[in-house]
Structure 1
């Protein structure tokens, strides 16, 4: 039997921005939570879709063909290969669902890039 996880409480407990943590697994996907503020980096994931669910706050996802605005409870799937940059004007709590092969900042590396080992650390 799996453990019950409060995604909201796990996200609230995070002390680092833009440092997702794995809170569960479903088949070949990780369920992650993150606390974000500011801008991550424009990047893409060539072979993986990425689901963003806003737990608290507001997130804008900037893409080459426009942006989407997400409020609490909203979710959006960035299709594989689409260059995107998540931006939070104020602190925002997220749940992410990604294949286990998805690199944090996709095809770019910045000071905000986190390895899978870092994402697997306990909350």
Structure 2
């Protein structure tokens, strides 16, 4: 049990849309990720997903609205809700979701990563 310095961990990588595992909470992974530009429309049928903005801001697009999430804010996307993250500039987020969650909701796309690196 050691403290995890999020800034130090974020300094270890620069790639976007590639979550890095920094811890576990029960059956959930705690990820850090950098977002920039558009991701893809997707949903997680059986898992909720939580985003906490560490640095910057991003927008979560839903089919019926858009929600900006600012530094220091968090949002939970309930299971089954289609969404698409968008960050106009680089944004760092902490994500908590079940360890077996496919981050594109099973959609085959070049942004899809099947194995996440632990840092």
* TMscore range, shorter length: over 0.9
1:17-71 per-residue CA deviation (whole Å, 9 max, x = no partner) reads 1100000001011000001100110000000000000000011000112111011
Do 1:50 and 1:77's aligned partners in 2 also have CA atoms closer than 8 Å? yes
Match of 1:109 in 2: 108
TM (norm. structure 1) is 0.91
Q: 1:52 aligns to what SS in structure 2?
A: strand
Match of 1:42 in 2: 41
Judging by fraction of residues, say which structure has more helix. 1
Q: Post-superposition, which runs of at least 4 consecutive aligned residues in structure 1 deviate over 3 A?
A: none
Match of 2:68 in 1: 69
Gap runs ≥5 in structure 1: none
- In 1, Cα distance between equivalents of 2:111 and 2:52: 20
Match of 1:8 in 2: 7
TM (norm. structure 2) is 0.94
Gap runs ≥5 in structure 2: none
Task: Report how many residues are paired.
Answer: 119
- In 1, Cα distance between equivalents of 2:7 and 2:74: 15
- In 2, Cα distance between equivalents of 1:84 and 1:95: 17
